[in-house]
Amino acid sequence: MGCFQSCISKHSTHSPLPTSYDTVPSASHNARDNVPSFSEFSLSDLISATNGFSSDNVVSESGGQAANVVYKGRLHNHNLRWIAVKRFPKSAWPNPKQFADEAWGVGNLRNHRVANLIGYCCDGDERLLVADYMPNNTLAKHLFHWENQTIEWSMRLRVALSIVEALAYCRSKGHSLYHDLNAYRVLFDQNGDPRLSCFGLIKNSRDGKSYSTNLAYAPPEYLRNGRVTPESVIFSFGTVLLDLLSGKHIPPSHALDMIKGRNIQLLMDSHLEGNFSTEEATVVVGLASQCLQYEPRERPKTKDLVTTLSTLQMKLDVPSHVMLGIPKHEDTPPTPQHPLSSFGDACSRLDLTAIHEILLMTHYRDDEGTNELSFQEWTQQMRDMLEARKRGDLAFRDKDFKTSIECYSQFIDGGSMVSPTVYARISLCFLFCDQPDAALRDAMQAQCVYPDWPTAFYMQSVALSKLNMTQDASDMLSEAAALEKKRQQGKGH
């Protein structure tokens, strides 16, 4: 696991934000999904996150004049966040300012129906977009290439509504065009909820085509003059409705012939085995037919699609992961392979009181060897630092965590001494103060000071759990347990 490249001594607080449907957060995080504000990433960050743009990290790729590749990655200095990185050739966006402007425009969008864009990088020949990674594959995978079970009918209706709600949100924020909307643009997050990829809000190149897939699925006006309008997006949504109905990627012209011939049963996905409402299916077929009208002005408005599809939602209390048949997003990390110590067990249970008691008992014994000071280095500044740490220790003992943060921060800011234990203690203080972001940062700083210290990893696992990053917390807990076992074996020799 990586840690921050430089040790941070200043501590800041983060306040939660409202998450109304139309609100674009202007502060640092979205409370619902803990989405960071849009920012520019360094190329080195993204190289590190993707293991040097390794082919093993490729999620998808497309060819053509503006070939681009999407990589899965993990940021080492942003709470170990999983990301998707879309990499363009320089020829796609030769003007860096135009690329940055496009990215910033989309980066201001924040909505739970969208896989949000969190950053970009424009460095030399590199043009990169950074979005939240969605771990549960695409709609295309679940519809066309499923392994264990197909998507049940109610979930298909939920997906349809989620897509059009995402389009409505984007339109309300001035982004009425979505390029090449198809089943591969619909992603499923860690809870199995459908989201629309933000990458479709930016073309693959400054002057490139809006439709890179088979032109049999492109709107007729695009074939006539190459133009894309908001109504073109509705046509594309109609093709996705056909996908949801049939479980296949049927060309619109063929599907419309079936609809006109009233062969709705032939259109429906046979893998549903008749487990759908004919009345609901008839409504969706009607919507698809309207969306696929030749004349753009005859296609329905986004808000009307939202209204109609909302009335078809019947399993509102059933989580998406259940309907998709994927594992539940756990609230606490599972037990790691290696047996846990008492401290590890307390961390796995998120028992802050027990963690506090153990950190008090272990005192500073793990700091031995991290500071080797000569007699000449015992300056007044050093004495002041140790006095600040002593005040922090007393406050920590008395569970006055705000005072502990202040005193320990004074010790850290002195800069002459480093203490992994202080970082672990201040991390716990932030957890007691309900600031898991700051807690994770300081636990990572403990790892910087003492790279193989199990306590640093255990504290990171607790902070990650508090941030609802369950899989990351589980991985960190297992890594801590493995380090602890290795340490114990070393002592036995």
3-state secondary structure of 36: strand
DSSP states of 184-238 = GGEEE-TTS-EEEEGGGGS-SSTT--S--S-GGGS-HHHHHHS---HHHHHHHHH
From its phi and psi, is residue 399 left (phi > 0), alpha (psi between -120 and 50) or beta? Answer: left
Within a 13 Å sphere around the CA of 377, how many CA atoms are in the beta-carbon half? 9
The one catalytic residue in 132, 180, 442, 472 is: 180
Please give the Cα distance from 235 to 182 (Å, whole number). 11
From its phi and psi, is residue 40 left (phi > 0), alpha (psi between -120 and 50) or beta? Answer: beta
Please give the Cα distance from 421 to 412 (Å, whole number). 11
Q: What amino acid is encoded at 396 in this protein?
A: F
CA dihedral 38, 43, 44, 46 (to 10 degrees): 60
**Is 180 assigned a catalytic role?**
yes
- 80 to 1, 40, 461: CA distances (angstroms): 9, 17, 11
Catalytic residues: 180
